[in-house]
Structure 1
Amino acid sequence: MTFDELIAFCDPISVQGNEPEKMGKLCLDSRKVNTGDIFIAIDGSQADGHSFVPQAVESGASVVIVEQEMSPAGSEAVLLVKNTRELLSPLAQRLAGNPAEKLTIIAITGTNGKTTVATLVWQMLRELEQDVALLGTISKRINDTTFESKLTTSDPVELASDMKRCLESGCKYLVMEVSSHALDQKRVDGIPFEVAAYTNLSLDHLDYHSTMEEYADAKKILFDGLSSGSWAVINADDKYARHMVKNTSAKVIDFSFKENGTVNAEILKTTPEQTLLDVEGIKFFTPLVGKFNAYNVVEALLIGTALGYDGKLLADVLPACRGAEGRLEKVTTKNSTQSLPMVFVDYAHTPDALENVASTLSELKKENQKLLILFGCGGDRDRSKRPEMAKISEKYGDRVIVTSDNPRSEDPQKIIQDIETGFSSTFSYRSIVSRKEAIHTAITESSSNTIVLIAGKGHETYQEINGIRNHFDDREEAREALNKLMRKLNSRGVN
């Protein structure tokens, strides 16, 4: 892109300074600017990029794009535009060669289930021998190569770079999770989605959106932007589903387990190992269990049909698709025995997600089994969730341990105290601040007739405390505790 082309694309209010000899990459972070780069200043929720223009110029920025009037400090060109945030995503795509236009992109949004649905679609397409990428919460995957992911939906510059890499790797499809924050902050503006899917909406992120109505409207942005050639796949059993597609131009596929949709589904049988589903006469097994996962699996199948694949073909490959790690993931040891408790790790960190997994395990437990629920709540996040999650754990748990999650900048003990206000005065529970100690206590003090649910962190391999991410993996700790208990039982002659 030449400087004249940049000016034409940005349509600035004014242009000051010198025409650059060269233009490099587009940067949001002044610390990443090198000589010749373009720096765009975004007024964010935590910091205003305009405050970092001097650092960007000092690092060699040849062009600075701003929405606040300022004069050149040196040899750089300054483009004053109406709204840098609205410009960012389209500009990032243009500078990367418009990779989004050359991919078939599937977007998944909703409070819970995004990661599982996105992963199932990616696995389904891989089973069909398609070249496909996945961008989401757990990781980025280009075909079978995995990269680190730091956000559910990356910033527009990183997103454009990832899409370019997908194309260079030969991908036809891109499946991505799209968060409400990303939609509100216009991170995916201008991206042509072929299919957009909505899972559900429940209490979460009210520290950012303030109300459920604002939260819902942020999600709705995805469907408002779809073209008439696109598809919207929605969970008709969710009360916000109709709101999502009220103004969409896309063709709508709505599904239901309560006969509310044009596509109706039914759970025929469920066990701790698998679920048998019927979708309009197509019957198939999935290794995922629980009603909430049944919704996820059916949504993945219907996304596949929206892409043009036959439903029966998709049903044939779905039994091989195991979904996302850290989602109702069973933790076992190398030499597990029947004397050990059954342990599951799940990412459930919202009231709705915790109720989904807790109710599923409660329904699956045998007559003599007990359910122990271990959970905490994240710091610097929506505080209204805390007592609600206590109520849900009390409803389904025979035993409950409250512990730390990612306390971030908050005092973990105070987070626990917020949670405790949700328990009834007669309910007996334990609180253990150390998550490691809590996990080991939960498992080593349990018998073979106990199901242990460790909720909140799922796939995460860190615990964030005061801005530092320390290595911590619930699955590793659970496995260590199981091995410790097994050694203890073996020393007593118990197999």
Structure 2
Amino acid sequence: MHLELIMPFPMPAYLAQLNVAGMSLDSRKIEKDWLFVALQGAQLDGRYFIKKAIQNGACIILSETKNSDEHGQIKMHQQVAEILVFKLSYLISQIAYQFYFPQKNLHKVIGITGTNGKTTIASLLANALQLLGVKNAQMGTIGNGLFGQLKTSINTTLDAISIFTELAKYQQQGVQYTLMEVSSHALDLGRVQALPFHSAIFTNLTHDHLDYHGTMQNYASVKKRLFTEYKLQQRIINADDVKGQQWLTELPDAISYGKVATQKNYLCVKNVFYKKQGICFDFQSSWGNGQISAPFFGHFNVQNLSAVLCQLLAEGFSIERLKKVFLTLNTVPGRMEKYYFVQKKITFVVDYAHTPDALEKALEALHQHKETGELICIFGCGGDRDPEKRPKMGKVAETLASRVILVDDNPRTELASVIMQDILAGFVNKEKVRCIHSREDAIKYALKHANAGDIILIAGKGHEDYQIIGKQRIHYSDRELLSALSQKEQA
């Protein structure tokens, strides 16, 4: 494609007809006649890799400048031009969109944002659509790809070029919907700036990522952009969340879901029943009334299922069809995922909860479904991340669990012992807590000492199959360990 067709500003005549065959932010992926985008990132400065990109075949370079006066200036590297671009990170999305979708014919993309619940809602939507016979793809924390064929991803939301690269692949494979988790970082850094979302869902806003955003107000403002700065067919917002309530008053055309009906278009949950095998709830809505049952735990999953139901009803699927589909939805990997040890009659539950609010909701959910025995909590906190939440999570665990075992999460470059001391500061009775740095040892200890009827929540890692210790990424999975221990018990 000619360079002039993908650039958001005029090109000199001698560059305008330059043919671009592909693009990347990674010089190692550059091929012949590709465009290389050199950003000045927090970790790496892409400009240091311009020479390598040219060696690999780059025909044009877009280089980020922090000086607005330099915007549009051109440097030559023999026959290859380097164009300096001011605020390039916010233009990449538009450039990638124009390159991969010149006809502006992108399939429907549903964005899900909020602190907790993004992965569950995206996964349940993908699962439901598949059961409804609609081909779809998913992008987010647990991976990217066609439903059931996800490939692991480091970030919740990919970089701008990778987003459109993936969407183009899905489109070629006949996908009708992509369910995308949209992080606050992605919104703030412009990764989805040009993406024409079909719909957006807001889950909730709780304490998280303040190491990046600084304040809850800044965090909320960034999330809100998805609902105010994008042309959406549907804005679906949780009316049970304080921030959601506020946004609904400002967005009269939005659809509300929750315990109360606040908008013209709404889904209102009425009666909730917590059963051993899952959840059942009645609802009233703009599309009719009914009852939904699904094999999940806790009130937060009532909210997640309500969001999914709301989106599918807004898309025109009937209540009768959806009632059947919800009965057969699958558990999301690492999201309240159950492992039952038959001989000892002990239940382990793996969940990704890594914020005070998420941990509280996970523990409350298990209390709602627990019949006998104690509730035990195993968790830790990540290093090089917001330290303010550590004592708060300790307080939540002490309040809601009978016993607590502190373990390492991803200590990264912090001392694991220091992280544990930060968590312990939230406990009144520190004798209630056992500290075992190894997650494997902690789980085996819990299995050995738990009694029949006990439920053990293992929080923090969820689907992840690694730990980051220092700067090393080491293979480890709570889920794999529990599966192996369960099989060993049955052998």
* Shared fold, TM over 0.5: yes
Shift of 1:65: 1.1
Q: Distance in 2 between matches of 1:474 and 1:428?
A: 23
Shift of 1:82: 3.2
| Structure 1 partner of 2:109 | 105
Distance 1:256 1:22, change over 3 A: closer
TM alignment of 1:29-428, pairs within 5 A: 29-68=26-65, 69=70, 71-98=75-102, 101-227=105-231, 230-244=233-247, 251-258=253-260, 262-280=266-284, 281-332=289-340, 336-337=342-343, 339-366=344-371, 368-425=372-429, 427-428=431-432
Paired amino acid for 2:310: L
Shift of 1:278: 0.7
Paired amino acid for 1:429: V
Q: Distance in 1 between matches of 2:15 and 2:484?
A: 62
Contact 2:141 2:181 (C-alpha < 8 Å) held by counterparts: yes
Q: Distance in 1 between matches of 2:130 and 2:405?
A: 40
Greater alpha carbon shift after TM alignment, 163-172 vs 75-84: 75-84
Distance 1:317 1:77, change over 3 A: same
Greater alpha carbon shift after TM alignment, 318-327 vs 102-111: 318-327
Q: Distance in 1 between matches of 2:486 and 2:146?
A: 34
Q: Distance in 1 between matches of 2:230 and 2:77?
A: 42
Contact 2:331 2:337 (C-alpha < 8 Å) held by counterparts: no
Shift of 1:17: 8.4
| Structure 2 partner of 1:491 | none
Q: Distance in 2 between matches of 1:95 and 1:479?
A: 45
Write out per-residue CA displacement over residues 163-213 of structure 1, whole angstroms, 9 at most, x where no aligned residue: 111111111111111111111111111211111000001011111111111
Q: Percent identity?
A: 35
Greater alpha carbon shift after TM alignment, 312-321 vs 271-280: 312-321
Distance 1:2 1:245, change over 3 A: farther
Distance 1:143 1:430, change over 3 A: closer
Greater alpha carbon shift after TM alignment, 279-288 vs 138-147: 138-147
Shift of 1:256: 1.8
Contact 2:3 2:15 (C-alpha < 8 Å) held by counterparts: no
- Look up the SS of the partner of 2:235 in the other structure: strand
Contact 1:235 1:255 (C-alpha < 8 Å) held by counterparts: yes
Q: Distance in 1 between matches of 2:155 and 2:36?
A: 22
Contact 2:424 2:430 (C-alpha < 8 Å) held by counterparts: no
Paired amino acid for 1:117: I
Contact 2:109 2:199 (C-alpha < 8 Å) held by counterparts: yes
Paired amino acid for 1:3: L
Contact 2:97 2:164 (C-alpha < 8 Å) held by counterparts: yes
- Look up the SS of the partner of 2:112 in the other structure: strand
Distance 1:267 1:454, change over 3 A: farther
Q: Distance in 1 between matches of 2:13 and 2:331?
A: 52
Q: Distance in 2 between matches of 1:140 and 1:344?
A: 24
Paired amino acid for 2:2: T
Write out per-residue CA displacement over residues 323-356 of structure 1, whole angstroms, 9 at most, x where no aligned residue: 41111111135xx23x331111111111111000
Contact 2:109 2:197 (C-alpha < 8 Å) held by counterparts: yes
| Structure 2 partner of 1:490 | none
Greater alpha carbon shift after TM alignment, 94-103 vs 388-397: 94-103
Residue of 449, 454, 458 corresponding to 1:450: 454
Greater alpha carbon shift after TM alignment, 455-464 vs 25-34: 25-34
Q: Distance in 1 between matches of 2:271 and 2:412?
A: 40
Paired amino acid for 2:60: V
Shift of 1:383: 1.1
Shift of 1:259: 5.6
1:26 aligns with 2:32: no
Q: TM-score, normalised by structure 2?
A: 0.91
Greater alpha carbon shift after TM alignment, 419-428 vs 374-383: 419-428
- Look up the SS of the partner of 2:268 in the other structure: strand
Paired amino acid for 2:3: F
Q: Distance in 2 between matches of 1:117 and 1:100?
A: 27
Shift of 1:251: 3.2
Distance 1:403 1:459, change over 3 A: same
Contact 1:16 1:78 (C-alpha < 8 Å) held by counterparts: no
TM alignment of 1:469-484, pairs within 5 A: 469-482=473-486
Paired amino acid for 2:91: L
Q: TM-score, normalised by structure 1?
A: 0.90
Shift of 1:460: 1.0
Contact 2:412 2:469 (C-alpha < 8 Å) held by counterparts: yes
Contact 1:99 1:160 (C-alpha < 8 Å) held by counterparts: no
Paired amino acid for 1:236: A
Shift of 1:481: 4.1
Distance 1:72 1:255, change over 3 A: same
Shift of 1:422: 0.8
Paired amino acid for 1:272: K
Shift of 1:455: 0.6
Distance 1:483 1:346, change over 3 A: same
| Structure 2 partner of 1:440 | 444
Q: Distance in 1 between matches of 2:228 and 2:45?
A: 28
Shift of 1:420: 1.0
Distance 1:298 1:72, change over 3 A: same
- Look up the SS of the partner of 2:363 in the other structure: helix
Paired amino acid for 1:253: I
Contact 2:411 2:469 (C-alpha < 8 Å) held by counterparts: yes
- Look up the SS of the partner of 2:91 in the other structure: helix
Q: Distance in 2 between matches of 1:384 and 1:67?
A: 34
Q: Distance in 1 between matches of 2:148 and 2:376?
A: 36
Q: Distance in 1 between matches of 2:449 and 2:295?
A: 29
Distance 1:17 1:30, change over 3 A: farther
- Look up the SS of the partner of 1:191 in the other structure: coil
Distance 1:72 1:94, change over 3 A: same
> Which residues of structure 2 form unaligned runs of 5+?
none
